[in-house]
Amino acid sequence: MPDLIFPKDFLWGVSSSAYQIEGAWNGDGKGPSIWDWFSHRRGKTARGETGDVACDHYHRWKDDLDLLKTLGAGAYRFSVSWSRVIPEGRGNINQAGLDFYDRLVDGMLERGIQPFPTLYHFDLPLALHKKGSWPERDTAAAFGEYAAVVAARLGDRVQWWITLNEPMVAAVLGYMYGTHAPGRRNPGSYTRAMHTLLLAHGEAVRAIRSASPRPARVGIALNLSPVHPERDTESDRRAASWFDVLSNHICLDPVLRGAYPPDLWRRFGPFAPPVRDGDLAKIAEPIDFLGVNYYTRQVFAGRWWVPIMGGLMVRSKQGEFSPMWEVYPPGIGETVERVWNDYRPPMILVTENGIPVPDAPDGNGVVSDPERISYLQRHLRVLQSSMAKNIPVKGYFVWSFTDNFEWELGYAMRFGLVYIDFATRKRTPKTSFDWYAAVIRRNGLEDSG
């Protein structure tokens, strides 16, 4: 008999997000989001792909929930599309949109699955973008109103809430590098977007708690990764430590300590965002758990001539690589241990962990993905060692349940435990699905793997 290596009440789940799976981009009264608009513009996504239909989850949600039940998942992290619920971002509520999430939540509960809604996963209502987007402070207030609407409707059944997914990614890729919607490239827009997103998180924590008919547990999902210097030189170490501020501390410090990292905004000079009295107290509204999205580490090298960053991300010399990133299992342990040691959040959930694999059905229709099994297995082993040091990790969610729309990279990056044929939308559980189902059943890994 294998050991039961995870605690009895450990939450085993999978994650997804609205724009990446739902489709029905303009169905049943949904308003457009920045991703609908961005992906419809020429040259913004690989092969011009969009999330218009995606996995058609909006129409096939029952089949998807049945598959989740077959998997044995105890929890499902999905996201609510803001513009499906409030098409203009503020004001009129689209009842049909809310009804969809209502049915989805009931469907999960009927199948014994805990719903974990995320209220924002990169898809700002286009109407709010036109009014100033995330750099506009008022967008945070609008987010608080929307959070209250969803919590009032679903909060009698939903216990766990995630305000934002990866605010740093939304700000950097959306407003600094322009590779994500809305495609801006402006340091001032980026810093202001970052601050408003964090304010929005604080607004939502309060709004959810006060609107929810039953006690709510509220958290945020941050993508975190260790940043290692390429070489053991003063210049690489200094650059890596600054990049660590920009990628990790920039959200961790305000959310969990109520302060921005010292020096952070000073280094942006005229591009620093306007931070008002009381903002940080709002951002640091106590949370019940921290969601950690972990995929890889960053390796950084000092380059004095690179503006603001003072360095560059480089490819590690000895690394093992997936089509997107380095595969670095020790990093998940380093991340949760560091978060716990430095910030002491009440509880940690790994809200995303996964790998893109170019998998495809073989002649018998079997989709075999040993690389994914190996990736997940190695990360779980490391996580288990951290938990043995009393780091309070209470759950783990694989990204992703099904293959889906990987933003600017389109459908080529397949992260799912379930293969989607994007021509027919047929679902085929991969071999990693069976492997993960066995992990969930035995509440841990077998000694040998």
Active-site positions? 166, 352
* The two structure tokens encoding residue 255: 């959310």
In angstroms, give the least distance from the CB of 17 to ligand IFM.
Answer: 5
Q: Rg of the chain's alpha carbons, rounded to an integer?
A: 21
* The two structure tokens encoding residue 46: 């690989």
* 22 lies in the binding site for ligand IFM (CB under 6 A): no
Q: Which residues of 114-129 are buried (b: 16+ CB within 10 A; e: fewer)?
A: bbbbbbbbbbbbbbbb
In angstroms, give the least distance from the CB of 447 to ligand IFM.
Answer: 30
Q: Which of 227, 226, 219 is nearest to 256 (CA)?
A: 219
* 326 lies in the binding site for ligand IFM (CB under 6 A): no
* 50 lies in the binding site for ligand IFM (CB under 6 A): no
* CB nearer to ligand IFM: pick between 20 and 298: 20
* CB nearer to ligand IFM: pick between 162 and 284: 162
Residues of this chain, 226-255, that bind ligand IFM according to CB under 6 A: none
**How many Cβ atoms sit within 10 Å of the Cβ of residue 363?**
5
Distance CA 249, CA 245 (A): 5
* CB nearer to ligand IFM: pick between 242 and 407: 407
Query: Is 39 in contact with 50 (CB distance < 8 Å)?
Result: yes
* CB nearer to ligand IFM: pick between 133 and 351: 351
Counting Cα atoms < 13 Å in the Cβ hemisphere of 159 gives 6
Residue 164 φ then ψ, to 5°: -120, 150
* 399 lies in the binding site for ligand IFM (CB under 6 A): yes
Judged by CB under 6 A, the residue of 5, 11, 14, 17 near ligand IFM is 17
Give 274: exposed, middle or buried? Use CB within 10 Å, 0-12, 13-18, 19+: exposed
Site string for ligand IFM, 329-368 (x = CB under 6 A): -----------------------x----------------
Residues of this chain, 161-220, that bind ligand IFM according to CB under 6 A: 166
Q: Per the omega criterion (within 30 degrees of 0), is the bond before 182 cis?
A: yes
In angstroms, give the least distance from the CB of 389 to ligand IFM.
Answer: 26
In angstroms, give the least distance from the CB of 77 to ligand IFM.
Answer: 11
Judged by CB under 6 A, the residue of 22, 244, 253, 406 near ligand IFM is 406
In angstroms, give the least distance from the CB of 304 to ligand IFM.
Answer: 31
Q: Kindly state the number of chain residues that form the binding site for ligand IFM, as judged by CB under 6 A.
A: 7
* CB nearer to ligand IFM: pick between 166 and 230: 166
* CB nearer to ligand IFM: pick between 170 and 239: 170
* CB nearer to ligand IFM: pick between 139 and 351: 351
In angstroms, give the least distance from the CB of 293 to ligand IFM.
Answer: 5
Question: Tokens 């079997």 identify what position?
Answer: 366
In angstroms, give the least distance from the CB of 31 to ligand IFM.
Answer: 21
Site string for ligand IFM, 281-300 (x = CB under 6 A): ------------x-------
Name the residues that contact ligand IFM, by CB under 6 A: 17, 20, 166, 293, 352, 399, 406
